[in-house]
Amino acid sequence: MSRRRLARLNEQIKRDISELLRTEVRDPRVGLPTVTAVDVTEDLWLARVYVRPGPTHDEDFPSELLNGLATAAPFIRRALGRTLKVRRVPELRFLPDRTLEEALRIERILQDVLPNTIKESSGEEHDPPGDTLDDMPQEFG
């Protein structure tokens, strides 16, 4: 399958799963998660669905939400089979989206390694030369 078609299929599955989770899945463990990405293998055998918790989830996000989604996966797959025009609907595997945590971890590492560079580039505690009267030449007198 071409990359372009696979990318379109990923987006279509993402939209359809989001809609199904919002309107048809009634499991209280699921709530209203956000589907952040879908990655379908080229042979359409597997679709990795990355999710983030909704506003109703607490700290027990991964286990409770993912168990509810795993239980609802056959229902969601059948519903996708009715709407998608593909020969085989991939098996759905729901995974937690950890991009935000990874980005924060990288940001902390960068702040530890380059603390002064980050402050200067963000505009904190940085006074460019020539902006004060003390920096002006004393030619006029």
Domain boundaries, the chain: 3-97
pTM listed for this prediction: 0.73
* Strand (E) or helix (H) holding 11: helix 3-23
Rounded-to-integer distance, Cα 23 and Cα 33, Å? 12
pLDDT values of the chain reduced to their tens digit, one per residue, 141 residues: 789 999 999 999 999 999 999 999 988 888 889 999 999 999 999 999 999 987 766 655 678 889 999 999 999 999 999 999 888 999 999 999 888 888 889 999 988 888 766 555 555 555 555 555 555 555 544
Q: Between vectors from CA 20 to CA 10 and to CA 94, what angle results, nearest 5°?
A: 55
CATH 3.30.300.20 fits 3-97, yes or no: yes
Question: 67 near 30, Cβ under 8 Å?
Answer: no
* Strand (E) or helix (H) holding 18: helix 3-23
